[in-house]
Amino acid sequence: MADSSCKTQDQVNADFAAIPSGYSTVRLYGVDCNQITTGIVAAKKYGFKIFAGLYNFGSVSADTQTIITAANGDWSTISTIAVGNEWVNNGVTDAAGVASAVSTAKALLKAAGYTGKLVSVDTLAATKLYPALCNNADIDFCAVNCHPFFDTNTDAASAGSFITTQITELRALLSNPNMEIVITETGWPSSGTSHDKAVVSKDAQTTAIAAIKSAFSSNQSNLFLFSTFNDYWKVNSAALYNAEQAWGYLGNAPSDIAAGLVAASA
């Protein structure tokens, strides 16, 4: 929630219900706030799949068990599980540490009957520097976050072409040049601090999202927009152009609006 409290099942349901047609999968980042359980219930109710995640490097085994418990033997809703999010980019561990965590999670999930896809996620920039992140036999596709907004020479209208160029450069570094590459985060903030060509506004966000969707028109399943709703529980920072709260391409979450925490207009 915008006040950093956890969402109830009804609140999660309300948010899932607001996602328009054309979207098939919702990405979750961790296991806190009972999000795997509430996410599975909402996904089943509204016809989505879940891309689940293990966020904390220090609790991979325990958090994997939390996902296993939440699934309760029914893996039909969880299509993919990510081990980590930007661990190398953020200096949490190195590529070898990520590979070890993936191996740990894979063994536990296999024993629990999970046959879906398993990946690790880092920034596309970090993966270009450390292609071993995707040159890993234990993962099913190369999962990377790529945000054109942070490139000062890219405007909103060029967001899609920026990503496709980055994908081409990354593919040249992979041991398997035919490996599937999925953009697991991309988007554009609606407010914050503009920098050079990267202007923040509602109109710029709309333009960027349209450009990104157009670039992936033939392979929409390889694109995850970030984020569904604005994240007011996050803290804005100058280093990230004071935009951390404003990436929601659908504006404010229905759960936050209903609770009176934010306005309906944003």
Would you name the residues annotated as active-site residues?
185
Following DSSP, what letter does each residue of the chain receive, concatenated?
-TTSPPPPHHHHHHHHHTSPTT--EEE---SGGGHHHHHHHHHHHHT-EEEEEE--GGGHHHHHHHHHHHHTT--SSEEEEEEEESTTTTTS--HHHHHHHHHHHHHHHHHTT--SEEEEEEEHHHHHH-GGGTS-TT-SSEEEE--GGG-TT--GGGHHHHHHHHHHHHHTTSSSTT--EEEEEE---SSS--BTTB--SHHHHHHHHHHHHHHTTT-GGGEEES-SS--TTS---GGGTT-TT---TT-S-HHHHHTTSS-S--
CA distance to 112, 154, 246, 253, per residue, from 249 (Å): 35, 19, 8, 10
Separation between Cα atoms, residue 152 and residue 197, nearest integer Å: 6
